[in-house]
């Protein structure tokens, strides 16, 4: 890894309230989310950030594998103890993707968009995603970890053939390399800001920003649920972060979890 925890702390300086007070950097881990959980159990404070140069068992949503080569990308997780009820759990993911997308846009000047609920896209190709995992007991979220995977400096040769149609990197989009350390610092600062809004129950600000960055709202979508498929127009998200879809028969559905495909205009 070409940067240390101390360097990241210097880059974020004292501009954070909770996130990034503790930062742990590894050369290689199975999964930063797994480590973040372990550190919370060991007594590390909420807001601890775990960063790895490489993951051997990187995970995406729905159990998918996340390609994690060394020296190219960002793999990081935030260890949290959110002060919100499970009803609003989806908003942790939405807050995270808003923070990450905002940081990437500012640092790279690339117009990254969000696909509900957690993917970051450039020209319909994925550059990153969020994986939120949590432990809920009754009406309390005991612990949550937010994992962020971002394709930064991958070249054409680094992207496996089977995902070249659907995946890209910041370098491929802009034609230049980016500093992972600088981008990590930007994401930590932005995450801290938006996470404080979530803790203060300022949900409308988060949802409004998510809507402004969304590449899903106003588009025809196909949604694969565990037991059926839906097709319709993605119209908005509600205060719990659920996607509101107007089906072709005029009825509305609120989706809290599912695999969304944007349908291209013919």
Q: What is the mean pLDDT of residues 148-159?
A: 92
pLDDT, one tens digit per residue, over 143-152 is: 999 999 999 9
> Is 147 found in the same domain as 43?
yes
Query: How far apart, in Å, do the first and last CA atoms of the chain sit?
Result: 45
- The residues, any chain, with a CB within 8 Å of residue 217's CB and separated by 6 or more, are 211, 234, 235, 236, 237
Question: Given CA atoms 183, 205, 214, 119 in this order, what sign does their dihedral have?
Answer: positive
Whether the per-residue pLDDT at 120 is higher than 80: the answer is yes
> Is 107 found in the same domain as 51?
yes
CATH code at 244? 2.30.30.100
> Is 57 found in the same domain as 28?
yes
Domain extent, residue 255, equals 220-262
> Is 208 found in the same domain as 224?
no
Per DSSP, the three-state class of 155 is coil
Q: What is the mean pLDDT of residues 255-259?
A: 84
Q: What is the reported pTM?
A: 0.92
> Is 156 found in the same domain as 45?
yes
The answer to whether 123 and 42 have CB atoms below 8 angstroms apart is: no
Q: What is the pLDDT of residue 219?
A: 93
Which tokens belong to 13? 């300086």
Whether the per-residue pLDDT at 225 is higher than 90: the answer is no
> Is 231 found in the same domain as 197?
no
pLDDT, one tens digit per residue, over 21-68 is: 899 999 999 899 999 999 999 999 999 999 999 988 665 544 555 566
What dihedral angle (degrees, nearest 10) is formed by the CA atoms of 50, 51, 57, 59?
80
> Is 161 found in the same domain as 46?
yes
CA atoms of 125 and 44, how far apart (whole Å): 36
CATH code at 125? 3.30.930.10
> Is 246 found in the same domain as 171?
no
């Amino acid at each position: 890894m070409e940067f240390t925890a101390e360097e990241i702390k210097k880059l974020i300086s004292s501009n954070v309230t909770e996130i990034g007070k503790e930062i742990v950097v590894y050369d290689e881990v199975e999964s930063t989310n797994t480590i973040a959980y372990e550190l919370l159990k060991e007594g590390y404070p909420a807001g601890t950030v775990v960063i790895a140069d490489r993951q051997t068992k990187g995970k995406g949503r729905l159990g998918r594998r996340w390609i994690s080569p060394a020296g190219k990308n960002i793999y990081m997780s935030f260890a949290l103890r959110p002060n919100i009820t499970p009803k609003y759990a989806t908003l942790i993911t939405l807050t995270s993707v808003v923070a990450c997308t905002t940081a990437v846009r500012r640092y790279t000047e690339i117009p990254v968009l969000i696909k509900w609920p957690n993917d970051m896209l450039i020209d319909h190709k994925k550059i990153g995603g969020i994986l939120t995992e949590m432990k809920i007991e009754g009406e309390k979220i005991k612990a949550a970890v937010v994992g962020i995977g971002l394709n930064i400096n991958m070249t054409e040769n680094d992207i496996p053939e089977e995902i070249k149609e659907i995946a890209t990197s910041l370098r491929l989009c802009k034609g230049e390399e980016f500093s992972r350390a600088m981008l990590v610092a930007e994401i930590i600062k932005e995450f801290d800001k938006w996470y404080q809004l979530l803790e203060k129950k300022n949900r409308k600000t988060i949802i409004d920003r998510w809507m402004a960055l969304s590449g899903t709202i106003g588009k025809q979508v196909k949604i694969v649920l565990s037991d059926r498929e839906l097709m319709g127009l993605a119209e908005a998200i509600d205060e719990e972060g659920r996607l509101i879809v107007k089906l072709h028969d005029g009825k509305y559905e609120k989706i809290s979890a599912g695999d969304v495909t944007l349908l291209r205009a013919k």
